[in-house]
A and B are shown apart, each in its own frame.
Chain A
């Protein structure tokens, strides 16, 4: 942990070497990603609801997914850009250090510019919550917190899975985008608005539904079953599988080389 904190500090120091570039990058990202939200607002300008979900309900799920994704883009950038580590040979250098590989990969890159996206997600989240007029109780607050955490975990798991793939083909390939960007874009909406095949895919293959659909129904009071509070924890299983896959890939790497 101290190692990771020290890396955070060093990445920040590196960043300060290019101050203006950081500020411009931060602001432009901040503005660009607001277009995402504008699209939703424009959509709801025409329609009151989509399959029974209102504007602020959609913004809530949207913000939760963006939050988890942006969090990983900032703090787990090394895993996100793992193919680069393999291609330029930096991964070999990590193998020469007496530390856990995954920790070192995490330390290898921090993308502070994407903090803009994280900040944005938090702002939208707050706007959505304020406007939803829900009667909050302790269960719902716990559910919301678990949703945010599981959103972070699921993207970490997906990034890890994609990183494992790099061990085999060296390149991250576009398959990853089906999972991350494509999946994310769909999962930003309450999954119930899609047809049932998507619900099945997002329940059993990439468990986005456990992050922002089943618990959402509980928060909105549409389902009462208290077991849904803990439904986001399903993603831990997913993380475990991803982690094992990564380990397996690494073993493969040392025995085949690049």
Chain B
């Protein structure tokens, strides 16, 4: 039995159908047509204690719905969720004492007060002991570099500062599972870096299981070994990033500056060739041809003035996947 067990869960929402315009709105006031959206269809997965899993998919794929079910806000229509031997939505009070949730777009801090006040309230909500609370809070403040920030009213903080406070707030009670719903949305590079390092560290030191949804593939690459890709409410891929790369091509862009004209290339592993003003862009598959082999081959054809090599980002890979599954 794994730590987190999700078996064939489904969730359907009833949504009122309404055309635009005042007339249609008035009409729908009296008589409404409903249609059903299957937000999540038959999703299953297991997660072990201490794992970091990236839960990704395009907008509207069912990520947030799954997080809501995992965190006990919603009960699935069908299927079963068992986490730490509890059923989240049914054992709510007991279960949530042991999880932390950060919704990137929703704040749990008091807008007009310093974050420290919100932390104090959380201390009472989770019924924490004084010494233990002080220890955790000091540790979190240190790791997230919040020294002066927690004294300032939240409304005066920058987005990055606020997000770091949010993350601290979700970990005050030392939960064994942390759900992060788009934790780096809208953050600058430095804040992202602090957040990522912090997540890694928490995972390592406290063995916190972390489930992360994000659209920023750098987050995933930096943090999660395993990803679960969902689209249209179904699991499309579940496995390591490395395996994903092998399976769906590990491409590399090579930008070559040359004055010569290249007529034909017929080497295995070259996916595409594009002419630009002072040279060419090649896309090569490094599972089939290494970069050095490719350059050696190229040197026999033209005089290479300059070379720039870019690995295909995981973003491109995901776009490719979306295309393949037509989501």
Q: Which residues of A contact B (CB under 8 A)?
A: 2-3, 6-7, 10, 13-14, 17-18, 89-90, 92-93, 95-100, 254-257
Q: How many A-B residue pairs have CB under 8 A?
A: 70
B108 contacts chain A at the CB level, 8 A cutoff: yes
| Inter-chain contact B124/A3, CB cutoff 8 Å | yes
B112 within 8 A of A: yes
CB-defined contacts of A3 to chain B, threshold 8 Å: 121, 124-125
Kindly list chain A residues whose C-beta atoms are within 8 Å of the C-beta of B106. 89-90, 92-93
| B13 pairs with A95, CB closer than 8 A | no
Residue of A nearest to B77 (CB): A255
21 A-B pairs in the complex with CB atoms less than 8 angstroms apart: A2-B124, A6-B120, A6-B121, A13-B112, A13-B117, A14-B111, A17-B112, A18-B112, A90-B106, A92-B68, A92-B103, A93-B108, A96-B101, A98-B97, A99-B93, A100-B93, A254-B73, A254-B89, A255-B74, A257-B11, A257-B13
In the complex, what residue of chain B is closest to A5 when comparing beta carbons?
B124
Query: Is B254 at the interface (CB under 8 A from chain A)?
Result: no
Contact B126 A98 (CB under 8 A): yes
Partner of B75, one of A2, A97, A255: A255
The proximity string for B residues 85-106 relative to A, scoring 1 for CB distances below 8 Å and 0 otherwise, is 0000100111011010101001
State A100–B125 Cα separation when bound (angstroms).
10
Q: Is B110 an interface residue (CB 8 A)?
A: yes
Chain B contributes a number of interface residues (CB within 8 A of A) equal to 34
A10/B108 contact (C-beta < 8 A), A3-B125, A96-B99 known? no
Taking the closest CB of chain A, its distance from the CB of B68, in whole angstroms, is 7
> Is A92 in contact with B96, judged by CB distance below 8 angstroms?
no
**Measured between C-beta atoms, what is the minimum distance from B250 to chain A in Å?**
40
Write the nearest CB–CB distance from B19 to chain A, whole angstroms. 20
Query: Please, which residue of chain B has its CB at the minimum distance from the CB of A103?
Result: B125
Q: Are A96 and B121 in contact (CB under 8 A)?
A: no
Q: Quick check: A98 and B96 within 8 Å, CB to CB?
A: yes
Alpha-carbon separation in the docked complex, A3 to B126 (Å): 10
Contact present for B72 and A96 (CB under 8 Å): yes
- Cα distance, A257 to B68, chains bound together (Å): 9
Residues of A within 8 A of B117 (CB): 10, 13
CB nearest to B123 among chain A residues = A6
Question: How many angstroms between the C-alpha atoms of A89 and B125 in the bound complex?
Answer: 19
